[in-house]
Structure 1
Amino acid sequence: MGLTSNKVLVAAVLCAVLLFVGTVWLWPRLARRNWRAVTGRVGLLLATQLAIFVSVGVSANQAFGFYASWADLFGQENGEAIVVDHNNAGTGGPLQVVDTQRVKGPGGSRPQLTGQIQKVDIVGRTTHIATPAYVYLPPEYFQARYRTRTFPAVTVLTGYPGTAEALYKKLHYPRTAQELAKNGTAQPMILVMLRPTVAPPRDTECVDIPGGPQSESFFARDLPDAVSAHYRVGKTPGSWGIIGDSTGGYCALKLAVHHPEVYAAGAGLSPYYKAPIDPTTGDLFHGDKTLQNDADLRWYLNHHQAPDTSLLVTSSKVGEANYKDTLKFIEQVKAKHLTRISSIILDSGGHNFNTWRREIPPTLQWISGRLSDR
């Protein structure tokens, strides 16, 4: 059973309940003061507390999507070994669809009414980075009257460690996009949903690491090229946007700032503005001071020409650690006449899915109004 399976959650909760009941039932028999009774009481307490801890942990992982598998949880996932097909005569290509599923909504399983989510494997032609993703295709993509139409595309990133499944299972990006398009408050868009962690378990912070994964180049060049070659995505520079939360929010802002010719708009939900260095990232820069400075968005905007892009940042007055930094970032960008800045500031809201679910509908409306379908 997989870590995110409902069976695992039920088993963990059932085990905790049974151990709790067993502790209450057996406690009178273990009330003596000999070493066996004391050992029994200690063992029951430890087992019960461990079971409760595991059930709470599994439940939290189900809600917030921290880890996708047991290997991910125990740090055994290895994304460094990548097989790339170099046979130009093959029919492979940089993007392969491996599964499809419907979007929940009225209309049964017909993609013409609810759209479709396709699980894909993407291999970067230049970076050789391989990663899975989920592509949401709106209902209009399958309708006969739109058969020649192209659509804007939005890269949607999780935080770290995060799971791509959480973007549609917990944060409901496809369902929200479908409802907004149906109501006429946003245009139909293709969503490309994935983790910013392209070399798990390492947190690469969307940086081109010297001698390591070229994460920024993958998101700036390989990913749009692979998706555009497979789907009917607009060809103009204004056809792509990017959204992310937490680490993904930082990546979204950085990619829009560094690559405005690719991403016409970038939205960071609860973002930070400078790549951290910690045990999850390792040495990202290997002494390259220019690379390190460019990964600091405030430094970059102070020392480079203002990018022609639109940015959206979100925070909360109470509950978010980035509130003051976000206000400073807004004021800094406002001074750059070519770069446009918008914000969502909540009165209160934590660094969690509940807060982001409140911010996603207006964020999708915002980015829809800044993208072209040509």
Structure 2
Amino acid sequence: MGLTSNKVLALAILVAVVLFGVTIWLWPRLARRSWRAVTGRIGLLLATQLALFAAVGLAANNSFLFYGTWSDLFGQEQDMGVVVDHSAGGKRIKVVEKKKLDVPGSSRPATGGQIQKIVVAGEKSRIDSPAYVYLPPEYFQPKYRKSTFPAALVLTGYPGTAENLLKGLKYPRTAFMQAKEGRMQPMILVMLRPTVAPPRDTECVDVPGGPQTETFFAKDLPKAISQTYRVGTKPRNWGFIGNSTGGYCALKIALHHPEQFGASAGLSAYYKAADDPTTGDLFHGDKKAKSRANLLWSLDHLPQGKSSFLVTSSKAGEGNLKHTLQFIDKVKAPARVSSIMLDSGGHNFNTWRREIPPALEWLSSRLSAS
């Protein structure tokens, strides 16, 4: 059973409850002052507390996905590196694994869709990054064999893992169910983390003399996906969505590259690049580049393209409400802006799970397959 399995969590809870009951039952018998009785009391208390801590820890990990597997938890991840050919004729995407969705009919891609784990080699940025690609069932059905599909890049926050998007935030399952219910069109999702040069948080900017992260997301990744899968190359074919740091990246890159992305959604996004020990010096004294990384400044000083933006916040619990309202106020035609405002909701997975279904529905309405 996997680390994030509900069976493992249920077993841990059951063990904690049983040990608690055993402690209450045996406590009168261990009330003596003999060394055996004292040792027994200590042993029962330690076992019960360890079981309780394990249950709480597993529940927290299932919610936030700090670790995806047992080997990840114990630092024993065995996945080998993947060699990617960077020659002129080499493919920019290599599929390294195929997975089923946790949906009815998942044994057949034409019924349940498919998730492919890939490695992307950035042509211009020279960045290599793993990612997951969700392909909807229609992608494998004969009547759609010549059809193209809209696609969206999906980013986690920092320092999240791409697995969070599959297991914690359930993007593929949500997209599958909403398309099945007719709430959105079938879409391809390209899911990864913004940390393409770990452990550094590059804030999706092109760092002078460092990782060219903006180029990777704005140019290399869409091009590689369109060359490998049936996705168009026009702005109306491409969307971008993310939470926290991923939300900032989605809004910023779509704002700066309307020629590539027709719509973007920032869930609990902030609006200027962070500056802390995890980022290092991102701009090397370039004041123009630093200003450009401030989305509110960009809206005031740079031309706004025909892009659609979705921003989210909450009246209580989020720290971005003030700047979100400023962002909304600064978006001008031909750009458009929409919002999701919750009455309450913190900067966490529970909040984003409430926002993802309507955000994907909105994103789908702004994109087209052809």
Tell me if both proteins adopt one fold, taking TM over 0.5 as the criterion.
yes
Q: What is the identity, as a one-letter code, of the residue corresponding to 2:322? A: K
Q: Which residue of 2 aligns with 1:232?
A: 230
Quote the offset at 1:199 in angstroms. 1.6
| DSSP 3-state at the match of 1:319 | coil
**What is the rounded CA distance, in whole Å, between the counterparts of 1:16 and 1:286 in structure 2?**
53
**What is the rounded CA distance, in whole Å, between the counterparts of 2:282 and 2:140 in structure 1?**
42
**What is the rounded CA distance, in whole Å, between the counterparts of 2:23 and 2:277 in structure 1?**
40
CA RMSD of aligned residues (A): 3.3
2:364 matches 1:368: yes
Change (3 A) 1:125 1:14: farther
Quote the offset at 1:74 in angstroms. 9.5
**What is the rounded CA distance, in whole Å, between the counterparts of 2:209 and 2:92 in structure 1?**
23
Deviations 1:77-112 (A, max 9, x none): 9xxx996523445xx511111111222333351111
Contact 1:98 1:118 in 2 (8 A): yes
Aligned length: 364
One of 208, 211, 214 as aligned partner of 2:209? 211
One of 335, 340, 350 as aligned partner of 1:339? 335
| DSSP 3-state at the match of 2:369 | coil
Q: What is the identity percentage for the equivalent residue pairs of Structure 1 and Structure 2?
A: 63
Deviations 1:264-308 (A, max 9, x none): 101011111111112222222222222211111001111111232
Contact 1:67 1:161 in 2 (8 A): no
Q: Which residue of 2 aligns with 1:286?
A: 284
Change (3 A) 1:3 1:200: farther
**Larger CA deviation: 246-255 vs 108-117:** 108-117
Quote the offset at 1:249 in angstroms. 0.6
In the TM superposition, 1:1-374 aligns within 5 A as 52-53=52-53, 55-68=55-68, 84-88=84-88, 93-333=91-331, 336-374=332-370
Change (3 A) 1:190 1:23: same
Quote the offset at 1:201 in angstroms. 2.0
Deviations 1:232-257 (A, max 9, x none): 00232321000101111111101110
Q: TM-score, normalised by structure 1?
A: 0.84
Change (3 A) 1:354 1:308: same
Gaps in structure 2 of 5+ consecutive residues: none
| DSSP 3-state at the match of 1:228 | helix
Contact 1:82 1:128 in 2 (8 A): no
Change (3 A) 1:115 1:3: closer
Contact 2:84 2:94 in 1 (8 A): no
Contact 1:68 1:162 in 2 (8 A): no
Gaps in structure 1 of 5+ consecutive residues: none
